[in-house]
Amino acid sequence: MYTKYDSTSQQQMLRKGLADLTEDASSRPISFWVNRFLGPRIVEAWIRIRFENEVADRCLSAISRRDRLGSRDRGRLSEAIFTALRRRGTVDRIVGVEAASEREQASQWLATALEQTWPDGPEPLPFSESRTPDEAGNLPPLIINSLGPDFDGLLDLGLGLRQRAPVTLRCHGVSREQLGQELEDAGVHTQPTPYSPSGLFCQDGAKLHQLEADVRAQFEIQDEGSQLLAMLVGAKAGERVLDACAGAGGKTLALLESGAQIEASDVSAKRLARLRQRLGAEQHRVKVTTLPEQGPLPFDSPFDRILIDAPCSGTGTARRAPDTLWRLTAEDLSNYVAMQRSILERFAPLVRAGGTLVYATCSILPQENQAQIDDFLKRHNDFETLPLSATLGSGALDELGDQNALQLYPHTHGTDGFFGAVLRRQN
């Protein structure tokens, strides 16, 4: 059982220092439902995730299964831990993390802080000029250093990455207007996304699983940024298009809407099995290939377009997995950069003359994004960068502006962090 720390000075410190734990929840009373049942589990989860480097989702799932938590308690446990992870820098500064002997006490203090109820919401701490970027944005030093001193909007980026991501839908086989009306009739409120013409923000995500099967078949859950990357490919009917690192196939499904001949590949048979499952009755439309880790690729002719949605740090998805930023090490980042370079080298020869290669990541770090493109072009003078207008529709361009690369951020675009660039192989 965890110990409550009730001294006035400690409570005041926790209340003041952890006020911004819940500052984004001003629309509802602040309560994390911590009690003598959930308190010890918050302590255990925080120790395992913060100090033993376990992946948050896996740790929370393991505790929930072991203790047979109901859906309400699972949600409350996740709410508490993910809120704290989004402000990990603040939590660390308040409760301390230096000595291993202090870890349980620190986590107990966290549980006590989360247990406090502010009926009208806490007073958020102002971001004064005296606060450093990592204090205000809760970004780890590696992320700050990787972005570099010239990055504009560091504090806003940190705040954007710690917000909850919206539930975003991509229409499938119907117009956005038709799907929006059907969902409205079913009591699910939506609004159009600003960039993707096929996207809807869903305000009642919990209700989606209650919809009739024929309505659920008309959409996929996909972040608007991911939708834009699929659009960036510019696939057209009759073209031969390869989704080279297809994974579970979110962008493969979007590419099918173009009418192109889609092939999907990955080195992971497990991820491709998930893709086949998602394709369902559409499996006959996609040729799925499991690739060898090394050696020649099993394709007998070049492609009109290739999408490389490269393995990356995933730092752009921190709204959904807030421990991602803090788990990343310099060695991890170096390994990702090397892997991305290798993948580009492996697939570039498969682009036909005049065809295009789209390089994409869900990262916000320049080493994985524009720096990779610059490095690739130095080694391949037969490729050139195309502006976004070459493949993106005018609707998205009106909002995004015509550039030579697509860089999306939560604080400026409301999407996850994504990067995409279009490279054309010259004749």
Asked if residue 108 has pLDDT above 70, the reply is no
Asked if residue 203 has pLDDT above 80, the reply is yes
DSSP of 58-90: HHHHHHHHHTT--HHHHHHHHHHHHHHHHTHHH
Asked if residue 285 has pLDDT above 60, the reply is yes
Q: Whole-angstrom Cα distance, residue 163 to residue 165?
A: 6
* pLDDT tens digits for range 12-39: 443 443 343 434 433 333 344 445 677 7
How many percent of the chain have pLDDT more than 90? Answer: 59
Q: HSE on the CB side for 101, CA within 13 Å? A: 0
The pTM of the full predicted model, rounded to 2 decimals, is 0.84
Q: Set out the domains of the chain in order of their start, with CATH numbers.
A: 8-115 (no CATH), 167-221 (3.30.70.1170), 231-425 (3.40.50.150)
State the average pLDDT for the chain: 83
Q: 120-124, 175-179, 350-354: which has the minimum mean pLDDT?
A: 120-124
Q: Is 245 a catalytic residue?
A: no
Catalytic residue (one of 59, 171, 245, 362): 362
Stronger pLDDT, 118 or 150, i.e. the higher one: 150
- Predicted local confidence at residue 205, as pLDDT: 83
- Predicted local confidence at residue 174, as pLDDT: 93
Beta-strand pair 219-221/199-202: unpaired
- Predicted local confidence at residue 165, as pLDDT: 92
* pLDDT tens digits for range 31-80: 444 456 777 788 788 888 888 889 999 999 999 999 999 988 888 888 88
Q: Whole-angstrom Cα distance, residue 413 to residue 423?
A: 24
- Predicted local confidence at residue 114, as pLDDT: 57
Q: Whole-angstrom Cα distance, residue 309 to residue 147?
A: 21
